[in-house]
Amino acid sequence: MLENNREKITQLIQNESIYSPLNDEKIAESLSIYRETVTGIRKELNIPNSRERKKQNIQLAIQTIKQSNPQITTGQLLDKLSEEGFQVSRNYIADLINNTVNINKKPDRPQAPLAGPKITDFSKLTGFDGSLTKNIQQAKAAMLYPPFGLPTLIIGDSGTGKSMFAECMYQYAVNQKVLAANAPFVALNCADYGDNPQLLLSILYGHKKGAFTGADQDTEGLVERAHKGILFLDEIHRLPPKGQEILFSILDKGQFRRLGEGNMTRKTQVFFIGATTENIESSFLLTFRRRIPMIIELPPLKERPVREKAQLIYDFFQEEANRTKCRILVNRKILSSFTIKEYPGNIGQLKSEIQVTCANAYVEKINSGKNEIIIDFSELLYNTLFQNIERNSAIAFQDALFVPLNTTKTQQKYPIFEDIYVKVEKKYQELKKMNISTVEIEKIIWNFILNNFDLIRAGAEARTLPLTELKYLVGDSISRMTDSFYAVIRQQYPDLSINEKVLVYLAIHLDEALKRIKQNQEIVNPNILHIKESFKNEFELALQLAEQVEKQENIRLPEGEIGFIAIYIKEMLQFTNKKNEVEIITVCHGKIASEMIAIVNHLMGVNFPIAVDMPFNENPAKTFKKVVEIAKTFEKDTGILFFVDMGSLANIGEIVHNQTGLKTRTIDRVDIVSVMEAVRKVYIADDRSEEILDDVYYDLIHPRHLCSMISIDHSYKKPVILCTCLTGRGIALKIKELLAEYYPDLKTMVLSVMDEELKQKINIINQQYNILAIIGTINPRIHNINFIPFETDFSKDKKMLVDYLVKQQKGNSLKKILDEDFIFLHSKYKNKQEVLEAIGSALFNKGYIKSEFLQSLFTREEMSSTCFKNGIAIPHGLPVFVERSAIVFVQLQQPIEWDGQKNKVVLICLPAIKSNDVDVINEMFRILKDKTRVDQLLKAADQHAFIETLCSP
Ligand SMILES: Nc1ncnc2c1ncn2[C@@H]1O[C@H](COP(=O)(O)OP(=O)(O)OP(=O)(O)O)[C@@H](O)[C@H]1O
pLDDT digits (tens, 9 = 90+) for 828-843: 888 888 888 888 888 8
Best mean pLDDT range from 156-165, 182-191, 664-673, 845-854: 156-165
- Residue 193 backbone phi and psi in degrees, to 5: -115, 25
874 vs 914: which has the higher pLDDT: 874
Lowest-pLDDT range, 100-109, 657-666, 810-819, 889-898?
100-109
Q: What is the pLDDT of residue 224?
A: 92
Using alpha carbons, select from 384, 547, 395, 531 the residue that is nearest to residue 463: 395
Cα of 224 from ligand 1 centre, angstroms: 27
pLDDT class of 412 with cuts at 50, 70, 90:
very low
Q: 862, exposed or middle or buried, with CB in 10 Å at 0-12, 13-18, 19+?
A: exposed
Which atom, in ligand 1's list, is nearest to the CA of 277?
Answer: 25
455 vs 823: which has the higher pLDDT: 823
Cα of 767 from ligand 1 centre, angstroms: 72
Which atom, in ligand 1's list, is nearest to the CA of 234?
Answer: 27
- Residue 272 backbone phi and psi in degrees, to 5: -110, 130
- Output the residue whose Cα is nearest ligand 1's atom 28: 348
Of 236, 309, 316, 347, the residue with max ligand 1 atoms within 8 A of its CB, to mutate for a pocket test, comes to 347
Cα of 528 from ligand 1 centre, angstroms: 42
Cα of 351 from ligand 1 centre, angstroms: 9
Helix axes 332-340, 306-324, angle to 10 degrees: 130
- The C-alpha R_g of the chain, in whole angstroms, comes to 35
How does pLDDT run across 105-122, given as a tens digit for each residue?
332 222 222 233 334 688
Angstrom CA distances, 692 to 577, 580, 612, stand at 13, 11, 23
- Output the residue whose Cα is nearest ligand 1's atom 29: 348
Ligand 1 neighbourhood includes 126 CB (under 6 angstroms)? yes
How does pLDDT run across 367-394, given as a tens digit for each residue?
666 777 888 876 555 555 655 554 443 4
**Average model confidence (pLDDT) across the chain:** 77
Q: What is the pLDDT of residue 162?
A: 94
407 vs 31: which has the higher pLDDT: 31
pLDDT class of 715 with cuts at 50, 70, 90:
low
Which atom, in ligand 1's list, is nearest to the CA of 189?
Answer: 27
DSSP assignment letter at 413: P
Sign for the pseudo-dihedral over CA of 409, 411, 412, 416 = positive
How does pLDDT run across 174-192, given as a tens digit for each residue?
988 889 988 999 988 888 7
Contacts of 951 (CB under 8 A, 6+ apart): 811, 814, 815, 818
Of 123, 126, 154, 164, the residue with max ligand 1 atoms within 8 A of its CB, to mutate for a pocket test, comes to 164
Helices (H) and strands (E) in the chain, counts: 38, 24
Question: Which ipTM score applies to this complex?
Answer: 0.96
Ligand 1 neighbourhood includes 159 CB (under 6 angstroms)? yes
Ligand 1 neighbourhood includes 354 CB (under 6 angstroms)? no
Lowest-pLDDT range, 83-92, 598-607, 744-753?
598-607
Amino acid at 514: L
- Mean pLDDT, rounded, for 436-446: 65
Q: Does the pLDDT at position 818 exceed 60?
A: yes
Q: Does the pLDDT at position 894 exceed 60?
A: yes
Cα of 327 from ligand 1 centre, angstroms: 25
Q: What is the pLDDT of residue 58?
A: 82
Ligand 1 neighbourhood includes 311 CB (under 6 angstroms)? no
Q: What is the pLDDT of residue 155?
A: 94
- Residue 31 backbone phi and psi in degrees, to 5: -100, 0
Angle formed at CA 243 by CA 242 and CA 248, multiple of 5 degrees:
100
Q: Does the pLDDT at position 533 exceed 50?
A: yes
pLDDT class of 782 with cuts at 50, 70, 90:
confident
Which atom, in ligand 1's list, is nearest to the CA of 347?
Answer: 12
Cα of 311 from ligand 1 centre, angstroms: 14
- Residue 180 backbone phi and psi in degrees, to 5: -70, 160
Which atom, in ligand 1's list, is nearest to the CA of 298?
Answer: 21
Cα of 422 from ligand 1 centre, angstroms: 27
Cα of 895 from ligand 1 centre, angstroms: 75
How does pLDDT run across 836-864, given as a tens digit for each residue?
888 888 888 878 888 888 888 888 888 77
Q: Residue 848 CB: number of other CB atoms within 10 A?
A: 20
Q: Residue 416 CB: number of other CB atoms within 10 A?
A: 21
By the 8 A CB rule, do 696 and 723 touch?
Answer: no
Amino acid at 912: A
Ligand 1 neighbourhood includes 127 CB (under 6 angstroms)? yes
Contacts of 622 (CB under 8 A, 6+ apart): none
Angstrom CA distances, 364 to 369, 404, 690, 854, stand at 8, 19, 55, 47
Ligand 1 neighbourhood includes 239 CB (under 6 angstroms)? no
By the 8 A CB rule, do 240 and 200 touch?
Answer: yes
Lowest-pLDDT range, 608-617, 658-667, 742-751?
608-617
12 vs 46: which has the higher pLDDT: 12
Q: 70, exposed or middle or buried, with CB in 10 Å at 0-12, 13-18, 19+?
A: exposed
Q: 825, exposed or middle or buried, with CB in 10 Å at 0-12, 13-18, 19+?
A: middle
Q: Does the pLDDT at position 166 exceed 90?
A: yes
Please state whether the peptide bond connecting residue 299 to the residue before it is cis, i.e. omega within 30 degrees of 0: no
Q: Residue 495 CB: number of other CB atoms within 10 A?
A: 4
Side-by-side strand order, sheet with 639-644: 610-614, 582-589, 639-644, 663-667
With helix as H, strand as E and coil as C, how does 581-634 read? Answer: CEEEEEEEEECHHHHHHHHHHHHHCCCCCEEEEECCCCCHHHHHHHHHHHHHCC
- Output the residue whose Cα is nearest ligand 1's atom 6: 161
Cα of 189 from ligand 1 centre, angstroms: 14
By the 8 A CB rule, do 561 and 420 touch?
Answer: no
Rounded CA separation 696/674 (Å): 11
How does pLDDT run across 582-635, given as a tens digit for each residue?
889 999 888 888 888 877 766 655 667 888 888 877 788 888 888 888 888 777
pLDDT class of 443 with cuts at 50, 70, 90:
low
Using alpha carbons, select from 133, 532, 547 the residue that is nearest to residue 304: 133
Q: 697, exposed or middle or buried, with CB in 10 Å at 0-12, 13-18, 19+?
A: buried
Cα of 349 from ligand 1 centre, angstroms: 9
Cα of 711 from ligand 1 centre, angstroms: 61
Which atom, in ligand 1's list, is nearest to the CA of 164?
Answer: 18
Percent of the chain with pLDDT over 90: 10
- Output the residue whose Cα is nearest ligand 1's atom 18: 161
Ligand 1 neighbourhood includes 156 CB (under 6 angstroms)? yes
Size of the chain, expressed as the number of residues it contains: 953
Angle formed at CA 684 by CA 682 and CA 688, multiple of 5 degrees:
85
Cα of 345 from ligand 1 centre, angstroms: 10
Beta bridge partners of 663: 639
Cα of 377 from ligand 1 centre, angstroms: 27
Rounded CA separation 809/951 (Å): 12
Q: Does the pLDDT at position 687 exceed 70?
A: no
Ligand 1 neighbourhood includes 161 CB (under 6 angstroms)? yes
Rounded CA separation 542/551 (Å): 14
By the 8 A CB rule, do 166 and 156 touch?
Answer: no
Residue 700, phi-psi category: left (phi > 0), alpha (psi -120 to 50), beta (remainder): alpha
3-state DSSP assignment of residue 873: strand
Cα of 139 from ligand 1 centre, angstroms: 16
- Output the residue whose Cα is nearest ligand 1's atom 25: 158
Q: 668, exposed or middle or buried, with CB in 10 Å at 0-12, 13-18, 19+?
A: middle
- Output the residue whose Cα is nearest ligand 1's atom 23: 159
Ligand 1 neighbourhood includes 244 CB (under 6 angstroms)? no
Contacts of 140 (CB under 8 A, 6+ apart): 122, 172
Best mean pLDDT range from 77-91, 514-528, 634-648: 634-648
Cα of 305 from ligand 1 centre, angstroms: 17
3-state DSSP assignment of residue 803: helix
